Structure 1
Amino acid sequence: MAVTRIAIGAPGEASHPDTLRAALAEFISVLIFVFAGEGSGMAFNKLTDDGSTTPAGLVAASLAHAFGLFVAVSVGANISGGHVNPAVTFGAFVGGHITLMRGILYWIAQCLGSVVACLLLKFATGGLETSPFSLSTDVSVWNALVFEIVMTFGLVYTVYATAVDLKKGNIGIIAPIAIGFIVGANILAGGAFDGASMNPAVSFGPAVVSWSWSSHWVYWLGPLIGAGIAGLVYDNIFIGQHSHEPLATSDF
């Protein structure tokens, strides 16, 4: 089972230069992604007098997040593995592809990147708020939880299939394209219901800057459950006992 490959990591790993460089890469990648994704929503609101709930707004959000994630994953891939998402990091952890020590640093860097991106957006737009994720009318927290679990399962399963599983060789640029596409597609499917986060860091930044925490736990628990299931399923069934990358590294 994949759980037997879970590792805490060496005590000195958190201060190792390679780990710190990887964490910095995650910080920058998340900053790029959140600035583009959240910024596109703010720009659409400005152009349409808060018309982001229209179908056009949903399509715009889907495209901006798909494009932004493609770039964010690509620029971080050779340094940190291009996780750009605490859920992806958790999915890699349960599959034995990253240690707990390294994963915690990634989480901190990812959340800080999101907060800084939202603060920069607030400053650059003259004080406009980055909208926190919230549930639509008649959508319960349990509805949203299922959405987040299923959407994040699809995202992390895609990460494993295109970037983690190297049995058939490195498929290169297809991985970040596929990862961006699945996020864009999921936003089209779930965006009208709960915002389609799939990424706790993306939800965390706007919540901190606006200090709005309504139903925020859904945007952590759902993605982590979905990512954990995807990591265990793909690693056990499709990767199985094939060789793994060393636990000290995070490059998919």
Structure 2
Amino acid sequence: MNDQFSMAVHGGDTKFHDKFSESKFLTFIGAHEIFTVETWKAALVELIATGALMFTLTSCTIACLESHESDPKLLIPFAVFIIVFLFLIVIVPLSGGHMNPIFTFVAALKGIVTLSRALLYVLAQCIGSIIGFFVLKSVMEPKLAHTYSLGGCAIGDKGQGSSINAQDVLLLEFSCTLLVLFVGITLAFDKKRSKELGFPMVCFVVAASLALAVFLSLTVTRRPGYAGAGLNPARCLGSALLHGGSLWNGHWIFWVGPFLACIIYYSVSISLPKKGLNWVDGEYDIFNLAMGFCGTIPNTSVLNDLP
């Protein structure tokens, strides 16, 4: 009788423990957000905004390349800055203004969004990119689409031989993404500094960091067949699905490079200074230090700090 009672009690404890663990896991991934209307509204905003961003960015980029400027690649960073800045100003208050799996992944790592919301956002961004490139391909002149590979992420044709190897592209994708994260996202995800600078300035810095990364990848490499850093895996996926061909050559790089940069950035960001640099009023001036040690100038504030 006692054995049966003990088994019943322990069996109940096991079931309770399993239910508790399951509930804790669902809370951890934010499963409750899947059943809220606001989450789906935000995901829909991400879908529409990403599609519109892909359509606008790609159209303006190809227009810059088709212009009669001596070096049209210098125009592209300015176009990227203006377009991204305008989209951020409008979309950030609605859904967070990610429009990029990289930003969503970092936000999930830092706990700013739940894993469930992050998955919905990434899915919405990929679908939005496909829709944006579908509209672009439908209205674009076929000759332009073929010449510029629909504005996708390209590193050269396998059959003709690429002028840049996969290792270099991976390194460049990693470096440019890390630059954007370190300069733009560090500020954007810092509540105190964002409040001090103001919302427009934060959008300005994020857009400028993206434009800077585009400028570096386009002007420094100058390799035929290389379209520059992708900086947005959803953009690379949408163009590759709609155009195909050489865009699938090394497509994995435009996913692996940015996500590696996200992991490295997150690892570094955990140990970034929280309070910042504490400025002192000239107490450790190098001239005063030297004179103080020589006995010429009595620098008591410095000597008191020495062991």
Q: What is the TM-score with the length of structure 2 in the denominator? A: 0.68
Alpha carbons 2:64, 2:73 under 8 Å: kept: no
- Percent identity over the alignment is 24
What is the Cα deviation at residue 143 of structure 1? 0.8
The aligned counterpart of 2:129 is 114
What is the Cα deviation at residue 97 of structure 1? 1.4
Instruction: Report the AA paired with residue 189 of structure 1.
Output: L
Alpha carbons 1:29, 1:75 under 8 Å: kept: no
Correspondences of 1:23-38 after superposition (within 5 Å): 23-38=43-58
Correspondences of 1:1-252 after superposition (within 5 Å): 8-47=28-67, 56-127=71-142, 128-129=144-145, 130-135=150-155, 137-170=162-195, 171=197, 172-191=199-218, 192=222, 194=226, 195-212=228-245, 213-238=248-273
Residues 232 and 101 of structure 1: CA distance in aligned 2, closer, same or farther (over 3 Å): same
Residues 169 and 58 of structure 1: CA distance in aligned 2, closer, same or farther (over 3 Å): closer
The aligned counterpart of 1:246 is none
Q: Equivalents in 1 of 2:189, 2:100: separation in Å?
A: 15
SS of alignment partner, residue 123 of structure 2: helix
Alpha carbons 2:179, 2:209 under 8 Å: kept: yes
Q: Equivalents in 1 of 2:96, 2:119: separation in Å?
A: 15
Alpha carbons 1:115, 1:204 under 8 Å: kept: yes
Alpha carbons 1:153, 1:226 under 8 Å: kept: yes
Q: Equivalents in 2 of 1:221, 1:239: separation in Å?
A: 30
Alpha carbons 1:36, 1:64 under 8 Å: kept: no
The runs of 5 or more residues in structure 2 that have no matched partner are 1-26, 157-161, 276-307
Runs of at least 4 residues of structure 1 off by over 3 A?
A: 44-48
Q: Equivalents in 2 of 1:182, 1:169: separation in Å?
A: 16
The aligned counterpart of 2:293 is none
Of structures 1 and 2, the one scoring higher in RCO (CA 8 A, sep 6+) is 1
Post-superposition Cα deviations, 1:105-152, rounded to whole Å, max 9, x if no partner, equal: 110111111111111111222445213312264321111111111111
The aligned counterpart of 1:245 is none
Alpha carbons 1:26, 1:80 under 8 Å: kept: yes
Q: Equivalents in 1 of 2:30, 2:103: separation in Å?
A: 21
Instruction: Report the AA paired with residue 258 of structure 2.
Output: P
Alpha carbons 2:98, 2:104 under 8 Å: kept: yes
Residues 141 and 8 of structure 1: CA distance in aligned 2, closer, same or farther (over 3 Å): farther
Q: Equivalents in 1 of 2:230, 2:70: separation in Å?
A: 18
Q: Equivalents in 1 of 2:70, 2:261: separation in Å?
A: 27
> Does 146-155 or 65-74 show the bigger shift?
65-74
Post-superposition Cα deviations, 1:26-64, rounded to whole Å, max 9, x if no partner, equal: 11221232112111233345556xxxxx87231222222
Q: How big is the alpha-carbon RMSD for the aligned residues of Structure 1 and Structure 2?
A: 2.3
